[in-house]
Structures are given as structure tokens and as C-alpha cells.
A and B are shown apart, each in its own frame.
Chain A
Amino acid sequence: MAALRNAQAYIGSIKGYGMAISEAPNSILLDVSTAEPIGRRWRRALGPDLDGYGFVLPAVIIMTALIVYPFFLALWFSLSDGMIGETRHWIGLKNFAYILQDHIFLQTIRNTIIFAVSSVILKSVFGLALALLLQRATRWKRFFRGSVLIPFVAPTALTTLGWWLIFDPTYSHINWALKHIWPLNLLGLGPYQWLGQEYLALAVCAFVNFWRGLPFFAVTIFAGLVAIPAQIYEAAETDGASAWRKFWHITLPLLRPVLAVVTLFSTIFTLGDFNIVYVLTRGGPMNSTHLFATYSFTEGILNHDIGLGAAIALFLFPLLFVIVILQLRMVRKETSYGL
């Protein structure tokens, strides 16, 4: 009771609140007879950011419609049975139990891990190298900076078709070059079944993903490099630091937050890749290139077993969620240059 009275007193004491607490004992009803117009009261209740809510509302509606709703729908699909268009019934985790006994799915997990890890490592290393080169470029720098973005901005399906012709099973451009162009022909290499041999096909898919994602790394890291204050390097130079020591003790530590974010996004995009595998191999040969997205598409759309497809697609979600939380926490800790 005392708490209630204190609360009433507190509310009543708020200057300009425009409302009086009812005198009736034990009542928490507000006497609105002397209140301001409703619109203004709402405005006051929500604080000074009412306009802000209005501005974000369309985005919230769109996000809810296009992200939140499909996510929960997929979750429901994964926990229910029935084909596409049929009435669905709750079956708990049965779809997940089923895919864990599916050897193609187990192979898909392995493929996805190899694909994502190798591709993200390549993108990190070469993305950093490319960013450093871009930073050093003094002539034609706009041209170079624009050019490196081409693989990233061109439609993936279209560029992958180009790669598909390069790795074509019968008329691979690379095999042709290995056979006909000097001095490559002296090496006696090839022909290789780029898309017909299991590990080679997965390597090709990872390579194309690396090619497509490299600009994202390079440009983002480049932005991080530009943001590092020049005084730090000047101070290090005064102390006689070598280029390697500057890179190792200044550049890399200060780029860590950028690297963490870019690696996080790239890991998520890479794990969800679909186009590259679908165009190059359709999951073959012998399911050696199926990723979560392609296998989920096969089961969920082609085979109409939408519950199974959703279970495959969502399988990594808990793990990804934890990775995202940890990585974002790390980023928050390290966003300052500590000067």
C-alpha cells in the first residue's frame, strides 16, 4: 500500500504531467478530466522520440513481413508434417531426428563446413592483402577500387554461369589452356574433371564463392585501414618500427573489430549460399557439393516436403545464433582505438 502511495505521489509530482491522481483511496485510476488532448498525452507518454517511432514503423512492418514472419513460419514448418499446401500437424522434433539419420544430410554438413571455412579463410587472407594493396595504390586508385567490386555487384547466377563455362566438364577453358598455351602445356597437367570429381567440385564451388565474396572483404577492410589514425604509424616510425612490426602491432589489432564483423557477415552469407552450387553442380557429383540451402531446396521445394526442407535450413540456426552473439560481444569490446 505504501508503495502504491509512493508511486501515486511520484506520478503526481512529475511536473507538467497534466494529470491528477484520483483522491479515492487505493485507487490507481487516473482522473483525466483535466488532461491534455489524447494525441499530446501519447506524445508525452512515449517521450520526445514519437517521430522516431513513426520513421521506423515502415521498416518494422517490412522487417516483420519479410524476416520475422517467414522465420517463424519456417520454424513452424520444421516442427510439423505434411506436404506443401496440406494441413500441417505438430510433430515436434521428428523432422530433425529424421535428417540426422540421412546420410546425404550428414554429407551436407561436412560439405558446408569445408566450403564455408575454406572460403572464409581465403577471403580473409586475400581480402586483407587486397585492401593493403588498394591503400597503397596511388595511380588509377578510383579505377582499381571500382574494379574490385565487380564480382560482388554482378548477379551471382550470371557470373556463376561464366565460371560454369570455364569449368565445363567437356570443354573447360582451363583444361584447354593447360593443353594448348605455352608454357602451361609444358607442365603436362590435366585435363581435370573440375566438376566431376568430388573434392575438386567442392573446391571449385568454394573458389567461386571466394571470388565473389573477396571484394566485400577487401572494401570493408580498406575502410577500416583508412580509419586508422596516421599518428600511430608516425609514432611507430619514430620508434624505428619495421613495416612488418607496424602491420603486426598496429594494423592487425586495430582492424580486429572490422575483421570480426566482416567475417561474421561472410560466414552467414557463405553458409547460406545457394546460387553457386545450384548453377555449377546441383549438389553433385554424388552429393559432394550439397550445401544446406541446396539440399533444403531439393527436399522442401522439389520434393515438396517443406517441413524437412525447413528443418535442414534451420539446423545450424542455434549454432549461428551463438556465434553471432559471441562475435558481436567481441566487437563491442573492441570498437575503440584506445587512444
Chain B
Amino acid sequence: MEASSSPKDGLGETALSRRTFLRSSLAASAGLTGILLTNTPPAFAQERELKLLTFAHFVPASDDELRRQLEEFGKQAGVKVRMDQVAHLQLPAVLASEVQGQKGHDIIGLSRFAMPNLYAKQLVKLDDLVEKISREAGGLVNKEVGKGSDGQYRGIPWFYVSFPIAVRTDLLAEIGEELPDTWEDVRRIGQKLKKTGHPLGIAYSHCEDSNHTLRGIIWSFGGKEVAKDGKTVAINSKETVEAYKFMKALYEDAMDADIMAWDDRNNNVCLNSGKCSMIFNPISAYISARNDKALIPGTEKPIHLVINHVLPPKGPAGRHMSASPTSVGIWEFSPMKDLAKEFLAYHFKKENYEKHLMASEGYNQSFLGDFTFHPVYATSLKYYFHPYIASFSHAPGWPGSPTAAAEVVWDKFIIPDTVAACATGKQTAEQAVQAAEQEMKRVYQRLAEG
């Protein structure tokens, strides 16, 4: 029986025969199979479109400006454009699936420090563009970020986010203390403030902030994960053991146990809710306190007025802190590589790049020398640290390059976990450092063999 076109039951429905259903199903299955096998979309879907993927920025205005520039460029180039965003923690998974499928966006934000290294074979070489951009804008403040495992630029160093101390100045005044300058200051002040109900907040947990800050402490004490070659594991040293002992003391004297479960949001909440006295964080905590009009508990006074930022503290080996670098690259499989490159050249033109920087309200910090002392950092006294922090900030993996192995160590939270084990008394500092060394050696060996 063929499909009947006559209304059925007076409802205007068309009866669907079994045969028609089978034919339609088979046709749809065959069509889908054809598309999958030939890897070619149907003609109606083959429109030229430049696609950009990045993580949702913590200051959304920055994304708005980027989208505006992309759309403007699209109009000039006569192509359709699209900008997609995903949460920063989801971006690695999306990029991994694009690489595996060899399909997806053309331009991608490389939010993880080792992505240019890890995806070197999948990303377009951008040395010429990096050279041009840096020449026109005062050079690069860090020449390692953006480089692939082959030493060539696979991503353009876009911006970095630093980790100063965000501190409640009113609480310091109450106990008669000045702004902390050394880690010993942090401990001493933290100890006093904890007694007044305002502990220090550094996450010893599975989160990005923890990875950054704890590395800063280790480096400031003279410890390091790897030697300068970026391959030799060097975590097991007297200096690292001292750093672990210090972190245990800091936990016991100045912090609450909840830091063992913090994620990246918790330190912001702790500071802005009035509980914490000091945290180590990008300026997003301050910006959200200001935007949310958060008040000091029990008062009508906005809390952001009493939050200030200070350079990371000095340790026995100087002032060091980990920063979070972001690059931007182009997939090798992109059918629009040249156009994508043109867009990046357009975006990194001084006037456009500046607008993007301004839109982030100083959250983004530039790798380009000419922007280090940009007026945006003079718009608030709270940002005074900005131009100077680059000298003390390093990409993870320092003093080596931000390699894929460094990223694995990062993602497995080897440093936070071993520090937490030491701080809670599960292991001595020596045992914790040894455990970190053992785990790191396995990682570096596997990646070296791979």
C-alpha cells in the first residue's frame, strides 16, 4: 500500500505506510552515511565562514569587543563570521575533540599554557606574524609562551593573567600591620588575622588558583619543578622541602580547613563576603566585588574600596609567581588559514589590540612591551602592580618552557595534592616532595618516550 494523501480521521493527517517509512528511513540513513564517508557537507552547508572559538572571558566586555572586531573584519573581507565561547574548564575538551575529528573552528583561544606545545603539529606556524606584531609593539616580555615543541610559534602570545595578593587594607589597619612584602609577612599577618576571624585563603585543592599560587611559593623559596632544560625533574631539593614546610605552617597558622576543597570561585567568595583577609588571585575578585556592590558585613561600606592588590611576596629566593598565559592560534586543518591569519593581523593592530585590552578593564595583561605601561593600569590605584608584575611572573614549567609534560603535572594536581598531604600531616615535607618527584618523573618519562 502506498502512502495515502487523503486526510485521515478528518484531522488533515497523512497516513504513512510502512513502505514509505522504510524508504524514508533508508534514504536518510544512506544520506547520513554518505556525508560521513565522504566527509563533505551538502552543498547548502558549504558557505565560507570564519569561526573563532575561545573561553568565556571573566570580563565579558572583552569578549564583546573581540566579537565586534571579528564582525567588522568579516564585513571588510566579505565573509560570514562566527565566534563561539565555552567555559574555560571545558575548552580543552572541545579543542581535543576538534583535533581528533580534524574539524571545527579556524581560530582558537589556547587558554592552557602548554597548548601551543602540545598541539604543535596541529597548529599553523605563526613566526612571521609574531615577529611582525612584536616588532611593531615593543617586543615580547616573554619569548617562550606560544612556542610549540619544535621551537616555532604555534600561537601568538595573546595576554596573561597575573596573581597578585588581594588584601583587605581595613583589616590590616585594625591590627596595625602594613601591606605584606614577604612570605614571612604573609604568615605573620595571616596568623593575626585568623585570630580575628579573617583567615588567609590559598587553595590546596584541585583548582587552577591552587596550581598557580603553590608554584609561586615553591619558586620563591628557590625550588623548581624542572631544570632549565624543561626535561629534568628537579622538584626534590632542600629548597622545595623548605617551601613545603612553610606551606604546612601557613595552613596551620593562618588558614581554615575549607581551603582543601576550594575551587577557583571560592577564594573570590571568601574575600568578597568579608571572611578572608587575603587571597592570591587575578583582579577578578576585586572587579566582581565592585560590580556586585558587595558590602563589608554589618556595614553599608562597599568592600571593594578596602581591597587592594600587592605584588606577590618575596621569599628567600626572591619574588616569583605563576601567571596564566593565553595564546591564540589557527588549526592546521582549517580551510581558511590565510583569512584566519589576516584576522589575527587585524586584531593585533595596535589600535584594535588596545581596544580589546581596555575592554578587559586591565584584567588582560599584554605580552607586548608597548602595552606594559598602558594608561588602563593607571585608571585605578588598585592596579598599580600591573606594569611591574611581569618581571616576577612566569609561565608554569618555569624555568623551563611550558611543555606538555608540565601541563600533565598541572592537570593531575601533583603539587596541590602533595602540599595538601604535607599540610594535613599525612606525609612529612620530605615524603611529600619525594612523592611529587616520583609522580613527575613518571609523567616526564612517558612524554619523553611518547
Contact = CB atoms under 8 A, between A and B. Distances in A.
A104 B412 contact: yes
Contact of A51 (B22, B119, B263, B413): B22
A285 B29 contact: no
Interface in B1-56: 18, 22, 25-26, 28-29, 32-33, 36
B269 A196 contact: no
Q: For this complex, into which size category does the number of interface residues on chain B fall?
A: 35 or more
Given A281-B206, A284-B261, A84 B25 contact: no
Interface in A274-302: 281-287, 297-298, 301-302
A200 to B, nearest CB: 10
Interface in B71-117: 92-93, 96, 99-100, 102
Nearest to B442: A102
B413 A284 contact: yes
Nearest to B98: A85
Interface in B255-294: 256-263, 266, 269-270, 273, 275
Contacts, number: 117
A25 interface: no
A61 B33 contact: yes
A96 B443 CA distance: 15
A317 interface: no
A81 B61 CA distance: 42
A196 B118 contact: no
A194 B439 CA distance: 27
Given A104-B412, A284-B205, A196 B259 contact: yes
For chain A, what secondary structure do more than half of its interface residues adopt (helix, strand, loop), or is it mixed?
loop
A61 B262 contact: no
B121 interface: yes
Contact of A169 (B102, B118, B259, B412): B259
B58 to A, nearest CB: 19
B339 interface: no
B421 interface: yes
A282 B209 CA distance: 14
Interface stretch (A52-60, A128-136, A142-150, A327-335): A52-60
A185 interface: no
A197 B205 CA distance: 11
A55 B100 contact: no
B195 interface: no
Nearest to B101: A85
A103 B258 CA distance: 25
A98 interface: yes
B22 A303 contact: no
Nearest to A192: B257
A169 B266 contact: yes
A49 interface: no
A304 B99 CA distance: 10
Contacts of A171: 269, 273
A35 B206 CA distance: 72
Interface string B406-417: 011001110011
A51 B417 contact: no
A239 interface: no
B419 to A, nearest CB: 10
Contact of B262 (A169, A201, A306): A169
A19 interface: no
B205 A57 contact: no
Given A201-B261, A286-B417, A306 B100 contact: yes
A312 interface: no
A84 B417 CA distance: 26
A302 B411 contact: yes
B60 to A, nearest CB: 20
A57 B33 CA distance: 13
A205 B258 CA distance: 17
Contacts of B36: 65
Nearest to A200: B261
Given A83-B450, A281-B206, A284-B206, A304 B118 contact: yes
Contacts of B122: 85
Interface string A161-197: 0000000111100000000000000000000011111
12 contacts: A54-B26, A57-B25, A57-B29, A103-B439, A104-B439, A169-B258, A193-B261, A282-B207, A284-B416, A285-B206, A301-B92, A305-B408
Interface of B: 18, 22, 25-26, 28-29, 32-33, 36, 92-93, 96, 99-100, 102, 118-119, 121-122, 205-207, 256-263, 266, 269-270, 273, 275, 404, 407-408, 411-413, 416-417, 420-421, 426, 439, 442, 446, 450
Given A193-B261, A302-B411, 10 more contacts: A83-B450, A84-B99, A169-B259, A170-B273, A193-B260, A196-B257, A286-B426, A301-B93, A304-B404, A306-B100
